[in-house]
Amino acid sequence: MLDSNAVEGVRTNMTKLRGRSPAGRLLPGKAPFRSARTPTFTAAFRFRRDRIAAPCVRGGPEGGAAFRAWVEQSLAPTLAAGDIVVMDNLSRHKARDVRAAIRAAKAHLLYPAPYSSS
Protein backbone atom coordinates (compact mmCIF):
# COMPACT_ATOMS: atom_id res chain seq x y z
CA MET A 1 0.00 0.00 0.00
CA LEU A 2 1.24 3.51 -0.80
CA ASP A 3 0.52 6.73 1.02
CA SER A 4 1.36 9.66 -1.23
CA ASN A 5 0.86 12.49 1.21
CA ALA A 6 3.16 15.39 0.51
CA VAL A 7 5.26 16.84 3.26
CA GLU A 8 5.27 20.57 2.61
CA GLY A 9 6.50 23.68 4.33
CA VAL A 10 10.14 23.16 5.28
CA ARG A 11 11.28 26.75 5.84
CA THR A 12 14.86 27.47 6.77
CA ASN A 13 14.22 31.22 6.97
CA MET A 14 12.14 30.69 10.13
CA THR A 15 14.86 28.86 12.07
CA LYS A 16 15.68 30.49 15.41
CA LEU A 17 19.21 31.82 15.52
CA ARG A 18 19.14 33.04 19.13
CA GLY A 19 18.65 31.33 22.46
CA ARG A 20 19.80 31.22 26.10
CA SER A 21 23.27 30.24 27.23
CA PRO A 22 25.30 30.55 30.44
CA ALA A 23 26.66 34.07 31.10
CA GLY A 24 29.76 34.81 29.08
CA ARG A 25 29.23 31.94 26.65
CA LEU A 26 28.28 32.24 23.01
CA LEU A 27 25.33 30.19 21.81
CA PRO A 28 26.10 29.14 18.25
CA GLY A 29 23.19 28.94 15.85
CA LYS A 30 22.95 28.74 12.12
CA ALA A 31 20.63 27.45 9.43
CA PRO A 32 22.17 26.07 6.26
CA PHE A 33 20.71 27.34 3.00
CA ARG A 34 18.74 30.01 4.86
CA SER A 35 16.35 31.52 2.31
CA ALA A 36 12.76 32.65 1.90
CA ARG A 37 11.98 29.89 -0.60
CA THR A 38 9.90 26.99 0.65
CA PRO A 39 11.12 23.67 -0.75
CA THR A 40 8.51 20.96 -1.20
CA PHE A 41 9.26 17.27 -0.69
CA THR A 42 6.80 14.81 -2.22
CA ALA A 43 7.13 11.05 -1.94
CA ALA A 44 5.16 7.85 -1.51
CA PHE A 45 5.71 5.50 1.42
CA ARG A 46 5.44 1.75 0.81
CA PHE A 47 4.09 0.21 4.03
CA ARG A 48 4.89 -3.40 3.27
CA ARG A 49 8.44 -2.73 2.20
CA ASP A 50 9.22 0.13 4.62
CA ARG A 51 10.68 2.37 1.97
CA ILE A 52 10.12 5.64 0.16
CA ALA A 53 9.12 5.54 -3.50
CA ALA A 54 9.29 8.30 -6.12
CA PRO A 55 10.92 11.03 -3.99
CA CYS A 56 10.93 14.54 -5.46
CA VAL A 57 12.11 17.91 -4.11
CA ARG A 58 11.07 21.19 -5.70
CA GLY A 59 12.46 24.64 -4.98
CA GLY A 60 9.08 26.18 -4.21
CA PRO A 61 5.46 25.38 -3.48
CA GLU A 62 3.80 22.58 -5.39
CA GLY A 63 0.87 23.42 -7.65
CA GLY A 64 -1.57 21.13 -9.39
CA ALA A 65 0.49 20.83 -12.60
CA ALA A 66 3.64 19.90 -10.67
CA PHE A 67 1.73 17.27 -8.65
CA ARG A 68 0.21 15.75 -11.80
CA ALA A 69 3.67 15.60 -13.40
CA TRP A 70 5.04 13.84 -10.30
CA VAL A 71 2.24 11.26 -10.37
CA GLU A 72 2.59 10.59 -14.11
CA GLN A 73 6.41 10.60 -14.33
CA SER A 74 7.56 9.36 -10.92
CA LEU A 75 4.79 7.60 -8.98
CA ALA A 76 2.88 5.71 -11.69
CA PRO A 77 5.96 3.89 -13.07
CA THR A 78 6.65 2.46 -9.57
CA LEU A 79 3.14 1.07 -9.14
CA ALA A 80 2.27 -2.58 -9.67
CA ALA A 81 -1.15 -4.02 -10.43
CA GLY A 82 -3.15 -4.21 -7.22
CA ASP A 83 -1.19 -1.54 -5.30
CA ILE A 84 -3.35 0.72 -3.15
CA VAL A 85 -2.63 4.45 -3.23
CA VAL A 86 -4.09 6.52 -0.37
CA MET A 87 -4.19 10.30 -0.82
CA ASP A 88 -5.72 13.01 1.32
CA ASN A 89 -8.67 15.06 0.11
CA LEU A 90 -6.68 17.93 -1.36
CA SER A 91 -8.31 19.01 -4.62
CA ARG A 92 -5.14 18.52 -6.70
CA HIS A 93 -5.02 14.89 -5.49
CA LYS A 94 -8.50 14.34 -6.95
CA ALA A 95 -7.75 15.73 -10.42
CA ARG A 96 -8.92 13.61 -13.35
CA ASP A 97 -5.36 13.23 -14.75
CA VAL A 98 -4.05 12.05 -11.38
CA ARG A 99 -6.78 9.42 -11.03
CA ALA A 100 -6.28 8.29 -14.64
CA ALA A 101 -2.51 7.85 -14.23
CA ILE A 102 -2.93 5.71 -11.11
CA ARG A 103 -5.71 3.61 -12.61
CA ALA A 104 -3.72 3.13 -15.83
CA ALA A 105 -1.09 1.41 -13.68
CA LYS A 106 -3.89 -0.93 -12.49
CA ALA A 107 -3.56 0.40 -8.95
CA HIS A 108 -6.44 1.28 -6.62
CA LEU A 109 -6.95 4.83 -5.40
CA LEU A 110 -8.51 5.58 -2.01
CA TYR A 111 -9.32 8.79 -0.15
CA PRO A 112 -10.15 9.03 3.56
CA ALA A 113 -13.62 10.12 4.60
CA PRO A 114 -14.01 13.93 4.28
CA TYR A 115 -14.33 14.37 8.04
CA SER A 116 -11.26 12.26 8.82
CA SER A 117 -8.40 13.95 10.69
CA SER A 118 -5.76 11.92 8.86
Residue-level pLDDT at 7: 41
Tens digit of pLDDT for each residue in 23-62?
878 777 766 665 556 678 888 888 877 788 889 888 777 8
Residue-level pLDDT at 15: 64
pTM of the model: 0.66
Q: What is the DSSP string of 76-105?
A: GGG--TT-EEE--S-GGGG-HHHHHHHHHT
